[in-house]
Structure 1
Amino acid sequence: MLDSLEKYHGVDIHTVNSASRRWDRIMAYFECCGVNSYKDFRGLEYWPPTKIRGRTVILQTPIVCCKGPVNDLTCASKGRAHPRNNNMIKGCYNVIFNKFFYNRMTVGLIVLLIMFQSVVLFCCSWILCYMSRRNSY
């Protein structure tokens, strides 16, 4: 997962590549930032961008890591990004892993309940068949 961040461009719509768009969608959907945290973006070739919409900026995290609607860039700006307004310390790996693990547990429980119900129905059917044969003689 960390390798796919190498070409992350971030915000600038004119230079955004498919890897950036995928990461932006993942981080927005799961409300997370980076693989492990915002620190995964340090030292990337294209990160951080220096100009957004013609304004000079110094971002600490991608804007998509901000919580809630983004009206300005302060929630992602260096020195202003904080866990209260940014998902900066919530990595996507753990969020996605926990989501799939939780769903796997739910699916497993449902399968076990269906199997139990099938066994009970089979036993009831068998008892009814046995009783009907016994009464028919």
Structure 2
Amino acid sequence: AATCHRMFFANWQNGIRPEDCPDNDGHNVDAIDGLTGLIPVVVAAFGSGRSDDQLLEDIHAATSVCRHSVALSRQYGPAYGRLLLSALNGKGLPSAALETAQGMGLHLYPGRPDPMTACYLE
């Protein structure tokens, strides 16, 4: 279980309503593991013909179930969702990654080896 799960269930155990249990410790909750649960959300949306706006709503809902992370639900989740959709629509992963990074104001250097990354989003 991730930090967000431990915090969610601790809040629930303390009598907080489940819909109010998502939490954030200001460090471990804003982590890259929050993106992994988006893969089935995006694949399901891809197969259903949902609009981009509906997909963004789905991403926000999925990232907000157990964690309170604005960075994940409003910035990194949607960017990752668009990256996955681009790949599912046939765009090569390097091109999709470059396009996503540029859309976020980040710089990727094609041809360089993949760097090791931190697990924190910010």
Q: What TM-score do you get using the length of structure 1 for normalisation?
A: 0.26
Greater gyration radius: 1
More helix by share: 2
Greater RCO, 1 or 2 (C-alpha within 8 Å, sep 6+): 2
Q: What TM-score do you get using the length of structure 2 for normalisation?
A: 0.28
